[in-house]
Amino acid sequence: MENPTSAVNPERNSSWDTDVLIIGSGAAGLRAALAASEHTSVTLITKTTLTESNTHYAQGGIAVAMNLDDTVALHIKDTCAAGAGLCDAKAVEMMVSEGIPRVAELLDWGANFDWEGTLPRFTQEAAHSRRRIVHKGDATGRETTDVLIQRVLNTENIHVLQNTFAIDLLTDAGTSQEFQETATCYGVTAIVDQHVTSIRAKSTILATGGLGRIYPCTSNPKVATGDGFAAAWRAGCEMVDMEFVQFHPTTLFLDGAPNFLISEAVRGEGGQLINIRGERFMERYHERGELAPRDVVSRAIQIEMELTGFPCVYLDITHKPAEFIHERFPTISETTKHYGLDINIDLIPVRPGAHFMMGGIRTNTDTETNLKGLYACGEVACTGVHGANRLASNSLLECLVYGARAGTNAAAFAASQPSHPPDILPAGHTETSQTPDLDFIEAVKDAVRETLWENVSIERNGEGLRQTLAELKDLTINLGNVPATPAPNDIARIEAVNMLNVALMITESALERTESRGAHYRADFPTQDDSDWHRRILIKNNNPPKVISLE
């Protein structure tokens, strides 16, 4: 691997230039880099290391209509059914149809997925009408990123900067609303090797992943603090569907163990959910039982925990042969064994955790945002492919398809631009102040997580949402904004600001949507209302939430 700061010497330069800048190293960012590099030079930056992303920890697999009894039409139908009426049909069709060559390409590049004869070994997951999930045991994300990372590192005109914290986007937005409508993005400010630097780019791709770490229980790694969402919002990007946070039904709940994901595929292979009384309960909530959509299963588990007064339920896969369990779920087997649990004979204690954001930066199918020169793909983006609730294993498919589209389109835009981007100031910097004490910053982060888990998680109501909104606004006042002259030791503070920005967007959107749909459940409005709410909510900096029609 090349020197992670090969593209810049921060001691000599306060800025440097690139054609295409990509922020994020999950599947979307990596695939975007490969696509853009076919046409121009690329700089890819990542918050910590290349391997630290939500993709890397993805277990289940990639949903793709390649099985003999499957069709593109069936995959589209299942995706739109899970999305509860809010999917963008054009975007879904593009993802599903273009996903087939993207997965075939990944196999050609050496992805060592599980095979059965001449076809991949397809597995079943919740809300899919066919066995269409290709996988590598329960470590599909690791296999996918390993293949993509190796290809990126072997591509000469991709420069990689690790341990690079993106702060804010460089734009010419100014302050007037009229000017913001035609703003252009020219890169990002970032902390690189303890130096604050401007990375100027002819086009920029945000592929920063998720935001699960704004909740105390999550399947996401520590880096997922919503940085890309917040930076885009501060720069004037339109954000949509931010009320739709998906909670995965089964994260490990065990003393001393992390909130480790127990893959959807465990239920797909016959795993049964039981409560502390030893009762299977899912058939009381949905005709598909354990294979119901994720929002249904998560709420069912939450209800069972409340009814029994117990902090978890159990997932039982012990009726399967031990050899099958070890072969199919080696990562889960080894991880749980490390914490004293043998899933061949022991029940797995689980509870829901924040997993995926369906909403994000509003883009079209070309991954363009409302800022010229800024593209977004992967979890930070919202093309509308997931609607109100993502279908299992569609996330990696989305990353591959829209990552490739983002890279190609960003490279084309860069080719049309002048040789050097202008010197401009970053968006979002509104004050200069001394960095607060680290203990205070961590207390703010904990307070965000606590109030969101209490009032803006699996079940919500108007009173709790209003209370949370007030608390988040107080925390924002106390913490302040991103400093006008950030210092290298400001990373923790900027992360906390990002978490607050994102939490406010989610809470405001959840309060606005007075119905229940997909992953958004309001106890005070418990039914889906297609007469008034077959619409989306748009959030933009310094503006109240706006209800818009489906396109």
Distance CA 23, CA 123 (A): 32
- Let me know the angle formed at the C-alpha of 344 by 340 and 348, rounded to the nearest 5 degrees: 60
**Positions of E strands within 88-193:** 115-116, 119-120, 133-134, 158-161, 164-171, 185-192
Amino acid (1-letter code) at residue 28: A
Would you say how long the chain is, in residues? 551
Q: Check: CB of residue 438 under 8 Å from CB of residue 493.
A: no
Cα-to-chain-centroid distance, residue 370: 20
User: The tokens of 496 are what?
Assistant: 């906390």
Cβ neighbours around 412 below 10 Å, total: 15
Question: DSSP labels for 385-410?
Answer: SSTTSPPTTHHHHHHHHHHHHHHHHH
Concerning whether 466 is annotated as a catalytic residue, the answer is no
User: Which of 31, 213, 234, 294 does the annotation list as catalytic?
Assistant: 294
Q: How far is CA 150 from CA 46, 107, 114, 178, 209, in A?
A: 16, 14, 20, 44, 20
Question: DSSP labels for 424-469?
Answer: -PBSS--B--PPPPHHHHHHHHHHHHHHHHHHSSSSB-HHHHHHHH
Q: Check: CB of residue 440 under 8 Å from CB of residue 412.
A: no
Q: Check: CB of residue 140 under 8 Å from CB of residue 59.
A: yes
Residue carrying structure tokens 């979002």: 428
User: The tokens of 139 are what?
Assistant: 């470590």
Q: Check: CB of residue 75 under 8 Å from CB of residue 392.
A: no
Q: Check: CB of residue 262 under 8 Å from CB of residue 314.
A: no
Amino acid (1-letter code) at residue 174: G
**Nearest CA to 392 among 249, 282, 258?**
249
- In the β-sheet with 313-316, what is the strand arrangement from edge to edge? 245-252, 348-357, 313-316, 272-274
Q: Check: CB of residue 324 under 8 Å from CB of residue 261.
A: no
| Helices 140-153, 27-37: inter-axial angle, 10-degree rounding | 30
Handedness of CA 524, 453, 500, 362 (dihedral sign): negative
**Nearest CA to 165 among 420, 385, 524, 491?**
491
Q: Is 136 left (phi over 0), alpha (psi -120 to 50) or beta?
A: beta
Hey, which residues are catalytic here? 294
